[in-house]
Structure 1
Amino acid sequence: MDTVRTLLETQPLFVLFLTVALGYVVGEISIKGVSLGSGAVLFVGLAIGGFAPKSAPPALLGTFGLLLFLYGIGIQYGDQFFKGLTSPDGLKANAAAALGVIVSGLVAVAFVPLFGVKLDESLGMFAGAGTSTASLQAAIAAVKSDGPAVGYSVAYPFGVAGPILFLYALSALLKPNIVRPPPPLIETAEIALRNPAFIGLNMAQLVARMPTGLAIAAVRREHRNRPAADDLVLRADDVLLATSTDPAVLHEATTLFGELQPGRMTSHREDLDYARVFASSRLVVGRMLRDIRFPEGVVCTIAHVRRGDADLMPNPDLILEYGDRVGLLLDRAQIKAVRAFFGDSIKGTAELSFISIGAGAALGLLAGAIPLSIPGIGKLALGLAAVLLVALVLGRVRRFGPFVWTMPLSANLVLRNLGLTIFLAQVGIASGPKFFATIGVTGVSFLLYGVTILLALVVVTAAVCLWIFRLPFDMTVGVLCGATGNPAILAFANRIAPTDRPDVGYAMIFPSMTIAKILFVQIAAALASG
């Protein structure tokens, strides 16, 4: 065993990748249909770190992994974050998480008079139960001692494992019927215009009056297909090629405009043909469809956009991203020019700008290092939470001048999953020795304190979300992930709730709750010293 321990302690990178491999093997073990996934990497890391205390890779490596994960989350969900933050559900989610954080903080502070726990250790347990390194840093600075690190090292593993176990139990208790919704697909209908109310209008006027979620890709008149130009004046018996991702909308459009005339358009391609191209050129990536200017002489209609596994309606405010597959209606003679205009490279599915990633991450790190002055409390810094905040803003902006901030979904998933795995492995290995050593000194009392703080956080947050605000289960688990903070919990949440809501909830809650935890620590320390 000594030989194995020596090997591990002299080869930190070997240990890192061994932890990743073993972690995913353990994570694939399914118990009643539920597995830990990448979250198991942390537990394997704790075991290896406890066995070989000097085997941990540099902490900077874990920080780098977490940065990649947070940046990827922010870039992908920036637009949804800001829309959700001001929505009724977003406000409820933040209120529920804030209540959970406050109650867990009060429980931690209550241990000081009730059980004689030192305030610095109590604040450290609060930071560890919420897996908030920024709160730990704030606590150490506020109390000017290393006591918070002791409480943090005990509570942190439970801050990761506890919510995973809680979510597992909650899912088993409630048995939510969550099915990943099928990706939206574009459907078409050829509708002969017979309604006098629309005859004589131009296409722009028709678009303003037609059902939401509907688009007109082309018009057939006098046996010729033509683009649906804004100034085209509609006549009786014009055939409209209507598209939508909702069959009910197509049915409504058919009733509204006239009657179906299938086969009148799609079987004739002598005037307008269909082509699909990859968006990989800077001329189109990061731009709204309304701002795209085709080469001179090219008449072209964007019929739909396919991103990942989903078809998107060609709304004027839709912003193209690298790797999007764009369906076009155009003259065959212009296909070559349009392909060159869009780039049409399959490499676009993995294309990303390292200049944008470097600039965006540097901007986030700079913002996280700036101390913010809070009256009556002092100065605090957001740390890596600022990287997520900046990435969310950049994900909303999408493009600024020559910088295209977005990246293809496939590249984003690879980047952030790699970062998450590296972070979990490094933190697990590094935390193993402190975890087992602290347990040996304090016994089980600190463990019980940490579990109690954690339970206050997750139980209050879940109860308020589910039974007071009546939020959906998949949104609730995302809120719990953001309130507890650790990405390993989010990885598990995506297993039991395979929709986008856990990721959106995490992104919507994590920045604000990180700030809330820091503020609570600062306020508690200031009140105690005063």
Structure 2
Amino acid sequence: MSWLASTLKAYPEIAIFLALCIGYWVGGKSFKGFSLGAVTATLLVSIAIGTLGVTISPNVKAVFFLMFLFAVGYSVGPQFVRGIARDGVPQVIFAAVSCLLSLAAVTGAAVMAHYSLGSAAGLFAGSQTISASMGLATDAINRLGLPPDETRELLESMPIAYAVTYIFGTVGSALILAQLGPKLLGIDLVAACKDYERELGAGEAAEAGTEWHDFEIRAYRVGADSPFIGRTVADLEAHTPEGHRAFIERIRRDGGIIEPAMDTKLAPGDIVAIGGKRDQLIERMGPMSLEVEDAELLDVQTEGVDIYVTNKAVDGRTLRELARWPGARGVFLKHIKRGPTETGIPLLPKTKLYRGDVITVVGRTQDINAAARQLGYIDRPTKVTDVASMSLAILIGALVGAAVLRLGSIPLTISTAGGTLIAGLLFGWIRAIRPTFGQIPEPTIWFMSSVGLNVFIAVVGISAGPGFIAGLQKLGISLLLWGIFATTVPLLVSMFLAKYVFRFHPAILLGACAGARATTAALGMICEVAQSQVPGLGYTVCYAVGNTLLTISGMVIIMILS
């Protein structure tokens, strides 16, 4: 141990990787569905390492925290801007009110318990499960101009309070929303989700191609007495039975293969390659057509790709409406992902698409290309990051945040961290409407957000290590109880506001509460209880706004209490 301690003191960079290694490994383990998570595990490990007396430059955490904040803003930018600008306004207001409730609960708890600024910030971060707020709180404490010893004491108390309150903040939030919430509000969540699905068109004709499970292409011979003879491709495709979608992809005629136009008419003896869902093809074609094996005719290049929705004309339209667009021909929708958490959206005729959504479609390459031209662009996997644009955005945001305006003797600033977060929001929104700008692959975003935050947390924990045990002994069980209070009360009040004031549909109400508190774990449990993905419809806008405001609140709570 003495050799390890001396080595880590001499090479403190090793200590960071040691904390990340153990933190991610322990955080990835689960017991009966419960996991500490990488952030909490990394914090606890780094605190233990910090007791060895390792010292790390604060510049390290500053760099990685700016990376993290930019990634957060970049991820939620499209949903944040859309939520403010469109029909998500009630959800935006609700998320803001929920944030104020959280801020009020933690502030009240800190005042009544006579906690220091650092403990109050840690209580807020842990009870509201918003680790990122500690970064802005750290920046705000450093700007108070306190003596170095007092500043260090405040900063060391922050991770202690966070570590003690985070576990209930995560588990308690999920249990309150998913298990207690429906009982308190008198909601049958399963029935409510089914009702909402019916409102979105579940059980109606799936004109929008809203379900894709087994798309394939089969070949059928047109008999001499077939009712299809003389009818055009456009006519046949337009008059498929209600709830069916099928497309004539190729035709073998007189020994050759032709690519049909919409006005091509079928003739006796044609062998037609038809694409669609297997069960629908069997139901429609089986009784009246002879299926044949024609390997050459069926050799059609198909693929499944992600399309990033950017077209303003698509924004807010239902899948049923979009199914009638020419670009929808031959394309089958597999699923929709929305927001930074890639929330799955129900695939129903009245489900709406928004700019920033990522949809997965399958079909012929030429049909997918045609659909992409109307919807946005094909989001093919890439390893290249536009580092120049990304760095420029962080630079501008940090410079704006570094500016200080004085209102009399009071300095006003959003800090470099706040400026970087806002830059990420704007950058992500611009990216949603101009996808050729500022490309950052998903793995890079994950690295910046996950590793960036955990390096920051590791440095915070290592720095706080020496005072952790003493601080825990001083605050102890009372801190845990105040954490339970600060987690529970805002959630309970938010649920009743969502039902009786904002009047959200019961199916999305709890998802909106989870989003406003930025707790993805709770959303997963809510969807499991609901046996549906519908609660995710209330999550995305609230998450984008709540995650942003809760992060900024780390700075606000220091301003209030100081």
Give CA deviations for 1:270-298 in whole Å, capped at 9, x if unaligned: 6x853368999xxx99998x9xxxxxxxx
Q: Is 1:161 paired with 2:188?
A: no
**Structure 2 CA distance for partners of 1:139 and 1:359, relative to 1, 3 Å:** closer
* CA distance, structure 1, for counterparts of residue 265 and residue 84 of structure 2: 45
2:294 maps to amino acid: S
Measured against aligned partners, the alpha-carbon deviations of 1:402-427 in whole angstroms (never above 9, x if no partner) come to x35252x4555455444344344333
Question: How much has 1:31 moved relative to structure 2?
Answer: 2.0
Q: Write the letter of the residue equivalent to 1:385.
A: L
Alignment-derived partner of residue 340 in structure 1: none
Greater CA deviation, 205-214 or 133-142?
Answer: 205-214
- Name 2:486's counterpart in structure 1: 453
Q: Shift of the alpha carbon at 1:393?
A: 0.9
Offset of 1:151 from its aligned partner?
6.7
Asked if 1:136 corresponds to 2:137, the answer is yes
Tell me the CA shift for residue 122 of structure 1. Answer: 5.5
**Correspondences of 1:408-419 after superposition (within 5 Å):** 409=442, 412-413=445-446, 416-419=449-452
1: distance between equivalents of 2:86 and 2:158? 34
Measured against aligned partners, the alpha-carbon deviations of 1:83-117 in whole angstroms (never above 9, x if no partner) come to: 566787x5565445433332333334445875666
Check whether the contact 2:246–2:275 (CA below 8 A) recurs between aligned residues. Answer: yes
How do 1:60-79 residues align onto structure 2 when only pairs under 5 Å count? 60-72=59-71, 75=74, 79=78
Instruction: Determine the structure 1 residue equivalent to 2:208.
Output: none
Instruction: Tell me the equivalent position of 1:297.
Output: none
- Residues 328/359 of structure 1: CA separation in 2 closer, same or farther (3 Å cut): same
Report the Cα distance in structure 2 between the residues aligned to 1:438 and 1:228, rounded to whole angstroms. Answer: 76
- The residue aligned with 2:251 is 220
CA, structure 1 residues 139+419, in 2 after alignment: closer, same or farther (shift >3 Å)? closer
Deviation at 1:44, TM superposition (A): 3.1
Which residues of structure 1 form unaligned runs of 5+? 291-300, 331-343, 483-488
Deviation larger for 110-119 or 33-42: 110-119
3-state DSSP of counterpart to 2:34? coil
Tell me the amino acid that sits aligned with residue 425 of structure 1: A
Alignment of 1:83-482 (within 5 A): 94-110=92-108, 114=112, 126=124, 130=128, 131=131, 132-133=133-134, 136=137, 140=141, 145=146, 149=155, 152-158=158-164, 160-167=166-173, 169-170=175-176, 173=179, 185=213, 187-188=215-216, 216=247, 218-220=249-251, 222=253, 226-227=258-259, 232-233=262-263, 235=265, 241-243=274-276, 263=291, 267=294, 269=296, 273-275=299-301, 327-328=364-365, 348-366=381-399, 368-369=401-402, 378-381=412-415, 382-400=418-436, 403-407=437-441, 409=442, 412-413=445-446, 416-439=449-472, 448-449=481-482, 452-461=485-494, 469=504, 470=506, 475=511, 478-479=514-515, 481-482=517-518
Q: Which moved more, 1:442-451 or 1:37-46?
A: 442-451
Q: CA deviation at 1:186?
A: 6.0
Code of the residue aligned with 1:509 in structure 2: it is G
Give the TM-score taking structure 2 as reference length.
Answer: 0.59
- Aligned residue for 1:274, secondary structure, equals coil
Relative to structure 1, the CA distance from residue 261 to residue 419 in structure 2 (aligned partners, 3 Å threshold; closer, same or farther) is farther
Q: Which residue does the alignment assign to 1:338? A: none
Question: What displacement does 1:38 show?
Answer: 2.0
Alpha-carbon shift at residue 510 of structure 1 (Å): 1.0
**In 2, are the aligned partners of 1:38 and 1:491 still within 8 Å (CA)?**
no
- 8 Å CA contact retained: 1:120, 1:139: no
Is 1:12 paired with 2:39? Answer: no
Q: Distance in 1 between matches of 2:177 and 2:290?
A: 47
- Listed as ranges, the matches of 1:513-524 within 5 Å are 513-515=550-552, 524=560
SS in 2 for 1:267: coil
CA 1:503–1:263 in 2, change beyond 3 Å: closer, same or farther? farther
Q: 1:150 to 1:366 in 2, by over 3 A?
A: same
- Preserved CA contact (<8 Å) 2:16 2:455: yes
Q: Per the alignment, do residues 122 and 361 of structure 1 end up closer, same or farther by CA in structure 2, a change over 3 Å counting?
A: closer
Deviation at 1:495, TM superposition (A): 9.2
Q: Distance in 2 between matches of 1:133 and 1:214?
A: 52
Per-residue deviation, residues 136-179 of structure 1 (Å, max 9, x unmatched): 2686489765677577455333454342232465589569999x
AA at the equivalent of 1:187: F
CA shift in 2, pair 1:166/1:209, >3 Å:
same
d(CA) in 1 for partners of 2:244, 2:31:
42
CA offset digits 1:421-456 (Å, max 9, x no partner): 434433333343454454456666566545543443
Partners of 1:364 and 1:391 within 8 A in 2: no
Percent of aligned pairs with the same amino acid: 18
Aligned length: 471
Greater shift in the superposed pair: 151-160 or 460-469 = 460-469
1:361–1:214 distance in 2 versus 1, CA, 3 Å: farther
Q: Is the 8 A contact 1:70 1:388 kept in 2?
A: yes
How far apart, in 1, do the equivalents of 2:244 and 2:387 lie? 35
8 Å Cα contact 2:237-2:247 kept in structure 1: no
